[in-house]
Amino acid sequence: MPDTSFLHWPFFEDHHRTLAADLEAWCVKNLPVDHSDVDRACKQLVASMGEAGWFTYSAIDPDDPKPLDVRALCLIRETLARYDGLADFAFAMQGLGTGCLSLFGTSEQRQWLHKTRKGEALSAFALSEPRSGSDVANMDMAAILDGNEYVLNGTKTWISNGGIADLYCVFARTGEAPGARGLSAFLVPAETIGLTVAERLEVIAPHPLATLNFKDVRVPVSNLIGDAGQGFKLSMSVLDVFRSTVGAAALGFARRALDETIGRVQNRELFGAPLFDLQMVQGHVADMALDVDAAALLVYRAAWTKDQGAPRVTREAAMAKLYATDRAQDVIDKAVQIHGGDGVKKGSVVEGLYREIRALRIYEGASDVQKVVIARQALRA
């Protein structure tokens, strides 16, 4: 049974506690799903989570726009991650892929949100390129204005939901100024002529991922999201909301690893006594529990601060993401160690967690980049 005492921390309101309980019950019934075909599994997850209403938290309601509830986003990611990494992934992408529309979309562009909030359309966030992952400002992809259309040419890579998404939020260079000040964001429906999947990418914890080619992809000027030249700012504002949710997913993986470990050390007999009787094992369990609580404090502090109306939570979100993902890696490694051979057995829960956690320290700003961000914020304070 997971520890739910954190739900009584002052960061939360009653509706958050109700959400956590309702989602927990849904997860028990519906997760995990079969991952053997990740595309099919993701589409099914999106449909079933849409039906259950969980995506109403992932994007604003175009008919009644209110700010996103970042604490709810974090609670949902934490809970889903505890049950099934793919369910967390599917939920996260419905928010990240539509984040620009929620924050900056026109009412026409936001019509897509009716579909994504019901799980009837899948979304993706296309920022990274072969030459510009961490170095976003070095982007090559160009968008040239031609009459009342933009023409996009270039390559995007590492795009989650690439190949199965119905809409892409794509960043390209429009050239108003050099570097980061010359980028813009576009809404590109998947069926747009010239947008093709160049390669499907396989990673250690399989998720739908692709490299995409854009060859003379034409979109109307009305598909520009926000103002031309503001794309970098838009992408950073979206990441400002969603970065702490990556920490929440890591927290969910870590909490599951701790739960599995608590079960294991009580039930496994070694040297005529439960494994838990070994003091070094108790020390590991203590470190794990401490890391989980400290990560939770940072994640929900960032989410609460954003929900209080802070325009930016760059420092809080960077700390939450860095700490929660790095410590989750360590918590899960300890869980694997304590499980002995079973910890590395293909198909065991902790083996799956060990593969799931790794990419979270790389995407949406690698751990090293978060340190740079935190150090800069500290100097500014």
364 flagged as catalytic: yes
Output the smallest distance, CB 270 to ligand FAD, in A: 37
Output the smallest distance, CB 353 to ligand FAD, in A: 15
Q: Which is nearer to ligand FAD, 198 or 366 (CB)?
A: 366
Output the smallest distance, CB 364 to ligand FAD, in A: 6
Q: Looking at 203, 270, 344, 375, which residue binds ligand FAD (CB under 6 A)?
A: 203
Q: Looking at 79, 109, 123, 128, which residue binds ligand FAD (CB under 6 A)?
A: 128
Q: Looking at 127, 238, 292, 328, which residue binds ligand FAD (CB under 6 A)?
A: 127
Q: Which is nearer to ligand FAD, 81 or 127 (CB)?
A: 127
Output the smallest distance, CB 351 to ligand FAD, in A: 18
Question: In the 3-class helix/strand/coil scheme, how is the chain assigned residue by residue?
Answer: CCCCHHHHCCCCCHHHHHHHHHHHHHHHHHCCCCCCCHHHHHHHHHHHHHHHCHHHHCCCCCCCCCCCCHHHHHHHHHHHHHHCHHHHHHHHHHHHCCHHHHHHCCCCCCHHHHHHCCCCCCEEEECCECCECCCHHHCCCEEEEECCEEEEEEEEEEEECCCCCCEEEEEEECCCCCHHHHEEEEEEECCCCCEEEEEECCCCCCCCEEEEEEEEEEEEHHHEECCCCCHHHHHHHHHHHHHHHHHHHHHHHHHHHHHHHHHHHHHCEECCEEHHHCHHHHHHHHHHHHHHHHHHHHHHHHHHHHHCCCCCCHHHHHHHHHHHHHHHHHHHHHHHHHCHHHHHCCCCHHHHHHHHHHHHHCCCCCHHHHHHHHHHHHHHC
State which of positions 107-126 bind ligand FAD (CB under 6 A): 125-126
Q: Which is nearer to ligand FAD, 37 or 368 (CB)?
A: 368
Total residues contacting ligand FAD by CB under 6 A comes to: 20
Active-site hit among 260, 316, 351, 364: 364
Residue carrying the six token digits 């031309």: 228
State which of positions 132-151 bind ligand FAD (CB under 6 A): 133-135
Q: Looking at 19, 59, 70, 159, which residue binds ligand FAD (CB under 6 A)?
A: 159
State which of positions 340-379 bind ligand FAD (CB under 6 A): 359, 362-364, 366, 368-369, 372
Residue number with the smallest Cβ distance to ligand FAD: 133
Sign of CA dihedral 209, 215, 219, 221: positive
Q: Which is nearer to ligand FAD, 160 or 174 (CB)?
A: 160
Output the smallest distance, CB 205 to ligand FAD, in A: 8
State which of positions 160-189 bind ligand FAD (CB under 6 A): 160
Under the criterion CB under 6 A, does residue 47 sit at the interface with ligand FAD?
A: no
Q: Which is nearer to ligand FAD, 205 or 258 (CB)?
A: 205
Output the smallest distance, CB 318 to ligand FAD, in A: 12
Residue carrying the six token digits 């026109």: 106
Pairing of strands 224-225, 167-173: unpaired
Which residues of the chain form contacts with ligand FAD (CB under 6 A)?
125-128, 133-135, 158-160, 203, 209, 359, 362-364, 366, 368-369, 372
- Give the residue numbers annotated as catalytic, written as ranges: 364
